[in-house]
Amino acid sequence: MGAVGRPEFIRADWVKDGAVVVDAGYHPGGVGDIELGPLLDRVDAYTPVPGGVGPMTINTLIQQTVLSGEKALG
């Protein structure tokens, strides 16, 4: 999981073969916190940047807002 706030800070050679890579960062130029290019043929799965975890974050926030509203209304 990468969420350090620095573009491609996590180097590809730090990641084991067969890993599942979740990159929660986004920076200008469409890059995340993980150096993804060299990993594409080495990992089992990865979240693309952009478009990876962002939609799930938005969905979760909407769901929690609805549940909170329902709870407040009784």
Residue 52 CB neighbour total at 10 angstroms: 19
The three-state secondary structure class of 2 is strand
At residue 67, does pLDDT exceed 90? yes
Class of residue 36 by CB neighbours under 10 A (exposed 0-12, middle 13-18, buried 19+): buried
C-alpha span between 34 and 62 (Å, rounded): 27
pTM of the predicted protein model: 0.73
pLDDT at residue number 22: 93
Where are the domains positioned within the chain?
Answer: 12-73
